């Protein structure tokens, strides 16, 4: 047995952490791609535009929207690639798309080039929230599964903030070269990482799966911990083989799977409708409306940096608390606080429109609370829980469906937020966001089980109704009696 398995001590979790960090490096690159829009479109639309002719509002809108549209079918493409060719292959595909995105921007400043590069970001977006969370879950042991699962939001938000900062310090082309280096570094470093043990077992490559698990767990291949985990993966997949060949058909026909599926969709859509999407994309307009007559003035870049810093703080806090507080607790608290903050913001706008005095600090405080709740609980918990409540066979399909639904809802919000604000008032939009969050908090209490450190079987047991558990117990008792009777 190779000695490097014990480089950090037998049973160490360091290899899992290293692997998870590298898995989420494309998410950092995706976050940087999203963050690029804020400072760079301001530059490209200015009189000092490096392309000569400034971009129009229509061209910028097309750039902003195309990624969300591409992401919808790309979510299913990522799930198919991950299941057919492996998580590791799909990671290389993602970084290749990210690499070509920046090559295109370095090669041309034509509108078609910006739109095409942004379309590739849609592929990166899909992989970041379909493949990366699946891969991370499948290389992690139960005790740190949630902690490593939260890395996806940490890397996303840090990527955003990274670009906001360098966008204020470096030249246009230097920024492109820095961003190009991110996928290039990942393509090189990730060659050393193993594929998902679950995927290797599915392909019948048990020896490779054992080696991957041994390296990840810092143990010998014949260690009882490795063998037990390998056996658990095989049992899980053998059980899947007995269900319908078509994942969606099996989900819709099985009561427990369908309940898990509904949970995934609800928390994915709740995250999108918490108000964070319009707040991040229309922060400038919202801050302008909120600061009228208050004397509070923030430049667009100051707004972006402030909200980006709040995002990073929230997602970083998740990393240390998710295994202590639990998924259900964090999801409930952040949904509740986000809902109350959106209701407070809506009430502030309504009061101001009716000439009633309201504190000038309230809008900024509530906007920051909304962004914090999204990155601290709503965002990471929607990804972590969805990855935990499905087996290998269904995980990719469900995550792709949830992500596609979320992407479509984000696109619709981008499309209709401004018309709603201009026709019936901004307070109506924020009351709606607040209502969704408060309903979500209630749904979490009533319908979502705690998944912290639980196996799939334990989670599914929690999803059963009292009546189903009673019937199972009666059935088990009857079988036991019949068995005892036959032995007599």
Q: For residue 212, what are the CA distances in angstroms to 5, 167, 200, 205, 206? A: 10, 40, 9, 11, 10
Q: Calculate the alpha carbon distances from 410 to 64, 77, 417 in Å.
A: 11, 19, 10
Confidence of residue 399 (pLDDT cuts 50, 70, 90): confident
Residue 330 structure tokens: 């964090």
- 369 versus 468: the higher-pLDDT residue is 369
Q: Residue 55: is its pLDDT beyond 70?
A: yes
- Lowest-pLDDT choice from 112-121, 241-250, 256-265, 473-482: 473-482
Which residue, among 280, 419, 434, 279, has the nearest Cα to 350 in the 3D structure? Answer: 434
How far apart CA 229 and CA 225 sit, in angstroms, is 6
Q: What is the average pLDDT value for the chain, to the nearest integer?
A: 85
Considering the chain, tell me which residue range(s) the CATH 1.20.1250.20 domain(s) occupy: 9-193, 246-467
Sequence-distant (≥ 6) Cβ neighbours of residue 158 within 8 angstroms: 28, 31, 312, 315
Question: What is the CA angle 216-328-247, rounded to 5?
Answer: 65
pLDDT 10s digits, 282-315: 665 566 666 655 555 666 667 778 888 888 998 8
Sign of the alpha-carbon torsion through 473, 476, 482, 487: negative
Return d(Cα 24, Cα 383) in angstroms, integer. Answer: 13
pLDDT at 296: 58
DSSP-derived 3-state class of residue 277 = helix
The two tokens of residue 245 are: 């060949």
pLDDT at 5 exceeding the cut of 50: no
Residues 6+ apart with CB under 8 A from 127: 26, 30, 74, 78, 90, 91, 93, 94, 97
DSSP string, 432-479: HHHHHHHHHHHHHHHHPPP-TT--HHHHHHHHS-HHHHHHHHHHHHHH
> Taking Cα atoms as reference points, which of 342, 317, 15 lies closest to residue 153?
317
| pLDDT at 141 exceeding the cut of 80 | yes
pLDDT tens-digit map of 74-105: 989 998 999 899 999 999 999 999 999 999 99
User: Residues 448-467: pLDDT tens digits?
Assistant: 989 888 888 888 888 888 88
Torsion angle (degrees, nearest 10) of CA 276, 280, 282, 286:
70
Task: Give the chain's radius of gyration (CA, Å).
Answer: 24
Tell me what pLDDT residue 253 has: 84
Q: Which CATH class is domain 246-467?
A: mainly alpha
SS3 label, residue 37: helix
pLDDT tier for residue 7 given thresholds of 50, 70 and 90: low
At 49 the pLDDT is: 83
- The CATH class that applies to domain 9-193 reads mainly alpha
Q: Is 244 exposed, middle or buried (0-12, 13-18, 19+ CB in 10 A)?
A: middle
Instruction: Give the mean model confidence (pLDDT) for residues 51-63.
Output: 81
Q: What angle (nearest 5°) sits at the alpha carbon of residue 358, between those of residues 354 and 360?
A: 125
* Cβ atoms of 180 and 99 closer than 8 Å: yes
Q: What does 352-392 look like in DSSP terms, one character per residue? A: HHTT----TTHHHHHHHHHHHHIIIIIHHHHHHHHHHSS-H
| Section 9-25 average pLDDT | 90
Tell the burial category of 374 from Cβ atoms under 10 Å away from its Cβ (0-12, 13-18, 19+).
buried
């Amino acid at each position: 047995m190779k000695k490097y398995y014990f480089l950090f001590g037998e049973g160490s979790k360091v290899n899992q952490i290293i692997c998870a960090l590298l898995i989420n490096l494309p998410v950092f690159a995706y976050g940087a791609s999203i963050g690029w829009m804020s400072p760079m479109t301001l530059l490209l639309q200015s009189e000092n535009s490096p392309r000569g002719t400034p971009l129009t509002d229509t061209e910028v809108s097309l750039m902003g929207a195309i990624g969300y549209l591409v992401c919808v079918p790309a979510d299913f493409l990522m799930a198919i690639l991950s299941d057919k060719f492996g998580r590791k292959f799909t990671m290389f595909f993602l970084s290749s798309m990210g690499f070509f995105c920046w090559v295109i921007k370095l090669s041309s400043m034509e509108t078609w080039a910006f739109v095409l590069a942004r379309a590739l970001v849609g592929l990166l977006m899909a992989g970041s929230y379909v493949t990366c969370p699946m891969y991370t879950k499948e290389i992690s042991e139960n005790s740190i599964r949630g902690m490593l699962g939260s890395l996806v939001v940490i890397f996303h938000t840090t990527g955003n903030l990274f670009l906001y900062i360098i966008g204020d310090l470096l030249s246009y082309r230097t920024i492109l070269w820095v961003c190009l280096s991110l996928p290039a570094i990942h393509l090189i470093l990730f060659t050393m990482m193993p594929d998902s043990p679950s995927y290797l077992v599915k392909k019948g490559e048990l020896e490779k799966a054992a080696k991957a698990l041994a390296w990840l767990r810092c143990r010998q291949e014949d260690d009882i911990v490795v063998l037990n985990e390998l056996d658990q993966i095989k049992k899980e997949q053998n059980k899947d083989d007995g269900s319908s060949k078509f994942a969606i058909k099996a989900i819709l026909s099985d009561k427990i799977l369908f309940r898990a599926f509904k949970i995934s969709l609800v928390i994915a859509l709740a995250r999108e409708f918490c108000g964070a999407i319009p707040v991040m994309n229309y922060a400038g307009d919202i801050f302008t409306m909120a600061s009228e007559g208050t004397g509070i003035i923030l430049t667009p870049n100051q707004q972006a940096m402030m909200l980006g810093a709040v995002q990073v703080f929230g997602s970083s806090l998740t990393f240390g608390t998710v295994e202590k507080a639990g998924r259900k607790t964090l999801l409930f608290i952040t949904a509740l606080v986000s809902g109350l903050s959106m209701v407070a913001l809506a009430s502030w706008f309504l009061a101001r429109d009716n000439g009633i005095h309201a504190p000038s600090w309230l809008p900024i405080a509530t906007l920051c609370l909304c962004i914090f709740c999204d990155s601290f609980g709503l965002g990471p918990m929607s990804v972590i829980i969805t990855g935990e409540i499905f087996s290998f066979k269904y995980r990719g399909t469900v995550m792709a469906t949830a992500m596609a639904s979320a992407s479509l809802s984000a696109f619709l919000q981008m499309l209709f937020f401004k018309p709603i604000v201009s026709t019936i008032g901004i307070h109506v939009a924020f009351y709606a966001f607040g209502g969704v969050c408060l309903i979500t908090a209630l749904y979490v209490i009533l319908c979502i089980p705690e998944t912290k450190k639980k196996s799939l079987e334990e989670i599914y047991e929690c999803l059963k109704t009292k009546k189903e558990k009673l019937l199972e117990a009666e059935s088990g008792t009857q079988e036991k009696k019949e068995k005892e009777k036959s032995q007599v």
